[in-house]
Amino acid sequence: MLAEIVSIGDELLKGQRVNTNAAFMAGALAGIGVPVQRIVACSDLETEMVAVLAESLERADIVLVTGGLGPTRDDRTKKAVQQLLGRGVEVSEEAYAHLATWMKQRGREVPDSLRDQAVVIEGSIVIENTRGTAAGMIIECGEQFRNHYLVLMPGVPTEMKAMMELSVVPWFASLSRTVIRHTPVKTLGIGESMLAEMIVDVEDSLPAGTTLAYLPHAAGVNLMITSIGREREEVERDNQSVVDAIVQRAGRFVYATREVTLEATIGELLSLAGKSVAVAESCTGGLVASRLTDVAGSSAYFLQGFVVYSNEAKHQALGVPRETIQTFGAVSEEVARAMASGCIEKSGADFAISTTGIAGPGGGSQEKPVGMVCLAIAQKTSGTVESRTLYMYGDREQNKLRFSEAALRELWECLRRNPKQ
């Protein structure tokens, strides 16, 4: 069984919106062993939608479509499907009842402008929208495309996701029989070509049905090992053998072999050691704290963050001596170390990490260019403070992200070196 995804909306073609929906749907289908062959974004012109949907239905058994089901005039997906399949529409009693309840909970009647939200293609299986008003549909295409399915969902991510999880995935899981196993190997601090050299022999002898993909990110590269087959046991064994071989060769750069973020990995190490952390940030402006607290349950080990943008704040909040700032400059390892020490002192945390640097675009000099960052890690028990300086080459947004990534990486390495401290 093969799937394709069609994302409808001019905003995608104008670059006004990133197509996160397609990635989510593709991931959900992969999880039930349905490979996606193509993802197509097209405009909401009816002629174009009809052409794209017809082509996808020729190639694939299932076509997931998002967008164009809303209450406004640029929402024309149902019209295109009517034309393509030669079918009419009908009011779904089920969808209308849901809509009425939805509005009632908000203290309103169903306004005329929303009635169309309960209109579906004739003969559809209605997908309940637990997060909004537009009904979704699973349509067996009949005549022209016998046994091919068209699934229509709204483009609003939360609505689509809920429909996928509650209705679409369970529906198609039973139709599919292929077994797929994905395992990520997440690395830090090594580039794509270096990593490729280290594992060249593994790539040379991949089992049949197993592939290896490189996914570079801000601070390194992740690998994805995918095995496909009919027998679950064989698929899992092949997959694991490749993962093991890679870890054997590049283990010191590997922080996880499952879907987990670096932030969560750090959280696990801290929880395991029963230790706490606090952060003192200048150039990252709160991003390191925000990433650490993206992890559910992070309140167990994350105590406090100081975003000390001004020199005065560095002094007042963390006790960084004014002379240190004057002598070495705000962007210096000396200030980074004083920030980390002050952060331990003020927060009482076991570990503190600090950042001070130049995110740009302004503020750089020959000596201290845009992209320069000083990081320090302080440890309460040992009283040690380590610092280092790194240079990045991006715009403000990239630099902030890479600075935060580097800070988290330093913290991860420190925690790994000192598991019991």
Residue list 8-27, contact with a second copy (CB under 8 A): 9-20, 22-27
DSSP letter for 207, please. Answer: P
Q: Shortest approach of a second copy to residue 263 CB, angstroms?
A: 11
Find the binder of a second copy among 38, 76, 87, 249 (CB under 8 A).
38
Taking the complex as a whole, the smallest distance from the CB of residue 311 to a second copy amounts, in Å, to 10
Query: Can you spell out the DSSP letters for 129-178?
Result: -TTSSPPEEEEE--GGGTT-EEEEE-SSHHHHHHHIIIIIHHHHHTT---
What one-character DSSP code corresponds to residue 128? Answer: P
361 part of the interface to a second copy, by CB under 8 A: yes
Residue type, 411: L
Q: Which is nearer to a second copy, 147 or 296 (CB)?
A: 296
Q: How far is the CB of 184 from a second copy (least distance, A)?
A: 8
Q: Which residues have C-beta within 8 Å of that of residue 139, sequence separation ≥ 6?
A: 81, 85, 121, 123, 124, 125, 149, 150, 151, 152
Taking CB under 8 A as the rule, does residue 40 contact a second copy? yes
Those residues with Cβ within 8 angstroms of residue 259's Cβ, 6 or more apart along the chain or in another chain: 184
Q: CB–CB of 277/303 below 8 Å? A: yes
Tokens coding 219 = 């601070």
Using the rule CB under 8 A, is 193 a contact of a second copy? yes
Minimum Å gap between C-beta 11 and a second copy is: 5
DSSP 349: -
Which residues ranging from 222 to 241 are in contact with a second copy (CB under 8 A)?
224, 226
| Interface positions, 240-269, toward a second copy (CB under 8 A) | none
Interaction between residue 302 and a second copy (CB under 8 A): yes
Q: Which residue from 317, 364, 369, 418 is in contact with a second copy, where contact means CB under 8 A?
A: 317
Please give the C-alpha separations between residue 356 and each of 82, 279, 286, 343, 347, in angstroms, as whole numbers.
Answer: 59, 12, 12, 13, 19
Q: Kindly indicate which of the ranges 91-99, 144-152, 240-248, 390-398 contains the residues binding a second copy, using the contact rule CB under 8 A.
A: 390-398
Window 60 to 119, contacts with a second copy (CB under 8 A): 70-74, 111, 113-114
Indicate which single residue of 33, 207, 285, 329 sits in contact with a second copy (rule: CB under 8 A).
Answer: 285
Measured from the CB of residue 417, what is the shortest distance to a second copy in angstroms? 25
Give 71 or 142: the residue with its C-beta nearer to a second copy.
71
Site string for a second copy, 326-345 (x = CB under 8 A): --------------------
Cα–Cα distance measured from residue 368 to residue 72, given in angstroms and rounded to the nearest whole number? 52
Q: How far is the CB of 281 from a second copy (least distance, A)?
A: 8
Q: Could you tell me how far CA 149 lies from the centroid of its own chain?
A: 28
- Residue number, 170 or 393, with CB nearest to a second copy: 393
371 sits in which H/E element = none
For residues 198 and 249, what is the distance between their CA atoms, to the nearest angstrom?
Answer: 7
Judged by CB under 8 A, the chain residues 116 through 155 that form the site for a second copy are 131, 133
